Amino acid sequence: MKKKLLVTGGAGFIGGNFIHYMMERYPEYKIFNLDALTYAGDLAKHRRLEGNPRYHFIQGDITDHSMMVSLFEKEEFDYVINFAAESHVDRSIADPGVFVRTNVLGTQVLLDAALKFGVAKFVQVSTDEVYGDLDFDPATFFTEDSPLQPNSLYSASKASADLMARAYNKTYGLPVNILRCSNNYGPYQFPEKLIPLTIAKAMNGKKVPVYGDGRNVRDWLHVRDHCAAIDLVLHKGMTGEVYNVGGHNERTNLEVVKLIIQSLDKPEDLIEFVSDRPGHDRRYGIDASKLEGLGWKPEYNFETGLKQTIQWYSANKWWWEPLVKK
């Protein structure tokens, strides 16, 4: 009998890439993609999976308790990977209530259904932003024991979801793992995020906005490396443990933008500095040694991964241009 894997938020960037990764790697799995298809949800990335008996799409909202209970009862999932989340910091500043509803209440509803129907593993996909930010000392990093000190409404909602997942493990014994990743990049990323936004604007000769002075530092992780980490934790992670996932690729936002513009042979005067985001974190840096001890290491360095990502967006305008127009 094939194992059943529920991927929530599978029409999004990381969840969508994870579905592709698992379909390629595990022919013995049936994969269910549950997504509400909000503005960032897109099924075009899964066209090649349509008609595959191992892939099933279900449109639904993870906050709908009765629907989730019915779905879990019907399908008897073995594993749940929760990617479903509102994730754009700027949007959380404008409307924090949506983030609390989806990211906190939705996670609790899923945890409740997973507990009720005996799911063998629940993986909560989180973010390094729950730790707050670091100074610019390159010797300091977030570890799994770093305190949760979120500074944005988005990261506060993700920290709350993490604590809910932890509590379901400690209180009820639900087998849970939490992964906290650094900034992902790669194919099918919605073009409101820094890298695809810069690629799209630079390709079209438009101004590329950079917050503040552009000195904010992020650790960049290729989405395929993230998928491999989730796969490893799903199958070998110790129940109840948190694992940090980092790409060891720290760059300032301005450095990233300049690399993209140079790769596309565009002039740097496309860069336009704009007013800084409220509560903008200075630096993220991940210590992923705990996960590396489990057997994971990133395959992509930033230069190679970024080059491949730019090539992908150049070759797949059919996917992102309609999203930009919308």
Per residue in 139-163, pLDDT (tens digit) is 999 999 999 999 999 999 999 999 9
Q: Which residues contact 286 (CB under 8 A, 6 or more apart)?
A: 128, 141, 142, 180, 181, 182, 219, 244, 245, 246, 247, 248
Could you tell me the pTM of the whole model? 0.95
Distance of alpha carbon 157 from alpha carbon 102, whole angstroms:
9
SS (H, E, C) 97-144: HHHHHHHHHHHHHHHHHHHHCCCCEEEEEEEHHHHCCCCCCCCCCECC
With b for 16 or more beta-carbon neighbours within 10 A and e for fewer, the 199-221 pattern comes to bbbbbeeeebebbeebebbbbbb
In the prediction, which pLDDT does 55 show?
98
In the prediction, which pLDDT does 38 show?
85
In the prediction, which pLDDT does 291 show?
98
Query: Which domains does the chain carry?
Result: 3-186+222-248+282-300 (3.40.50.720)
Give the residue numbers annotated as catalytic, written as ranges. 128-129, 154
Q: Is the CB of residue 56 less than 8 Å from the CB of residue 33?
A: yes
Distance of alpha carbon 77 from alpha carbon 17, whole angstroms:
20
Q: Is the dihedral of CA 86, 284, 260, 209 positive or negative?
A: positive
In the prediction, which pLDDT does 150 show?
95
* pLDDT mean across residues, the chain: 95
Q: Which of 215, 311, 220, 224 is nearest to 260 (CA)?
A: 311
| Parallel, antiparallel or unpaired: strands 217-222 and 250-252 | antiparallel
Q: In this structure, how many other beta carbons lie within 10 angstroms of the beta carbon of residue 165?
A: 26
Q: Per residue in 265-319, pLDDT tens?
A: 999 999 999 999 888 889 999 999 999 999 999 999 999 999 999 999 999 999 9
Task: Count CA atoms within 13 Å of residue 128 on its CB side.
Answer: 27
- Average pLDDT across each block of 10 residues of the chain; the chain has 326 residues. List them in order: 94 97 97 91 93 97 97 98 85 84 96 98 97 94 97 94 98 98 96 94 95 95 98 98 95 97 96 91 95 96 96 95 84
In the prediction, which pLDDT does 82 show?
98
In the prediction, which pLDDT does 87 show?
73
In the prediction, which pLDDT does 192 show?
87
